[in-house]
Chains A and B, each alone.
Chain A
Amino acid sequence: MDTDESLIAALADDLDASFEALVLAHQDRLYSIALRMLGDPRDADEAAQDALVRAYRALAGYDAARIRELRLRPWLATIVLNLCRSRLSRRPPIAKAALSLDLALPGELEPRVDEARGPAAVATRRAAARDWADLLLTLPPAYRSAVVLRHVDGLSYPELAIALARPEGTVKAQVHRGLALLRTAFEAAQRHEREEMTA
């Protein structure tokens, strides 16, 4: 938060001199949001780039007072999310893979442990991340964006309310509903795997 506050002050003071700092501070989270919303790394790269370019152009049109009022984290999240939504709406409808049973099983659920650094453990974790990412993509976009912003990006509920322009109670409900759907999808995938093993 503190870094964002000093960043905001710098942006209000001299946008061109401080915009690179904004890019470096926020590129990973914007790319992560886009990747988890869209699934495709190239799409995500483009969406995150586009979001930062739009942010620059918007900031260039704001006066210093308006920039100082900005909440950078939710504001940037809104921009990248809107771009993701329009990309999703342009995509041809895919066969409803949502909540289907042919999803692979997430490999590991335990929090990362430091000693688990061997190649096998790393491979398992990578596979697990890929699987959770796949499960996330099966959520309807409204729930997916709520879960991504809260649990991948780590926005607080007040920030989430700003980013999604919904009351806090509504976004909380969306996150919980999203997590419930995700759990259902996970359990379905697990069941499917067990059946395959015993078949």
Chain B
Amino acid sequence: MTTDDRSMESALAGLRVAAPASLAPNVLADVGLADRYARFDSPIGPLVVAWNGLGVSAVEVADDDTTFEANHLARTGRPARPFERVPDRLAAAIARRLDGDRRVRIDLDLRGHTDFERDVWRKALEIPRGEVRPYGWVAAEIGRPKAVRAVGTALGHNPVPLIVPCHRVVRSDGTIGQYSLGGPDNKRTILEAEGLDLPEMERLAASGVRFIGSDTTKIFCLPTCRHARRVTDRHRLELHSVADGQARGYRACLVCRPASAAMAA
């Protein structure tokens, strides 16, 4: 018994199969044409994180799936599909970042945003955990000292709050300012969870104190700079302006660059 070519060829043609249902969604997510999302817990309650092969694309207060998907599509032009959970590596990276480890790399998908917005967010990433900077400081640091209001708007549009810590940018009068991730109360909660002494910050602001100097180093800092917090009460000097510090022969801290906060319009 032999097998003829025709039957063999038809047997081979029968070896065509359908791709697994997950293949197309995986490819589209990998190349960044569709996103996945899952819920995770944070100090301010359950949040949704969305991501694709290019990076994290959104962090939001958890809504119902339909609302989130519709909003995400409207904002990014991409469909989002639910995933059972945040992938381990991404979850660990986010946890480390929230813990204050700025070295951990988290790729972000910030397509569709302006260079100005990216500059603002990149600058916010430099602010260490447990510290805050005024909006004007960010504006001056990115070379746009007059764009304080635009900085506030850009921070409000930050699609990946917590990962890009826009909560660490506050008003120059020391009050806490707005927060996109569920409002100012959440901003307080997060900053306190990060170890910031909010009542002290607000007390200084209310009494017009903008900088803290040390009479041993003759250096002045923004109040929440880690170098300012190290100064003991005996050597601590409260300053109201840069000129105030300079008149006493103090120079600005090279880490928190307090003059940037004063430079802004």
Contact = CB atoms under 8 A, between A and B. Distances in A.
Interface of A: 16, 19-20, 23-24, 27-32, 35-36, 41, 45, 48-49, 52-53, 56-57, 106, 109-112, 125, 128-129, 132-133, 136, 147, 151-154, 179, 182-183, 186-187, 190
Interface string B1-45: 111011111111111111110111011101101000000000000
A76 to B, nearest CB: 12
A109 B20 CA distance: 27
A147 B12 contact: yes
Contacts of B3: 109, 183, 186-187
B9 to A, nearest CB: 5
A31 B31 contact: no
A152 B16 contact: yes
Among B5, B12, B30, max chain A CB count under 10 A is at B12
A132 B15 contact: yes
Contact of B15 (A32, A48, A53): A32
Contacts of B23: 23, 27, 31, 45, 48-49, 52
Contact of A186 (B8, B13, B18, B28): B8
A147 B9 CA distance: 9
B8 A179 contact: yes
B22 to A, nearest CB: 8
A23 B24 CA distance: 6
A174 B28 CA distance: 35
B243 to A, nearest CB: 53
A19 B78 CA distance: 13
B96 to A, nearest CB: 28
B33 A31 contact: no
Given A16-B33, A109-B7, A23 B27 contact: yes
Interface string B64-87: 000000000000000000000000
A154 B26 CA distance: 26
B1 A152 contact: no
5 contacts: A23-B23, A45-B22, A45-B23, A125-B14, A151-B13
A28 B16 contact: yes
Top 5 nearest A-B pairs by Cβ distance? A31-B19, A151-B12, A27-B19, A109-B7, A56-B31
Contacts of B12: 132, 136, 147, 151-152
Nearest to A31: B19
A30 B2 CA distance: 31
Nearest to B12: A151
A190 B1 contact: yes
B2 A49 contact: no
A45 B13 contact: no
Contacts of A110: 7
Contacts of A52: 23, 27
B252 to A, nearest CB: 46
A186 B24 CA distance: 35
Contact of B19 (A30, A36, A128, A129): A30
A112 B17 CA distance: 15
Given A27-B19, A152-B12, A187-B2, A57 B27 contact: no
A129 B16 CA distance: 10
B37 to A, nearest CB: 18
Contacts of B30: 49, 53
Contacts of B15: 32, 36, 129, 132-133, 136, 152
Given A30-B19, A132-B12, 5 more contacts: A23-B24, A28-B18, A45-B19, A151-B9, A179-B9
Contacts of A48: 19, 23
Given A28-B16, A49-B30, A109 B24 contact: no
B16 A29 contact: yes
A147 B5 CA distance: 12
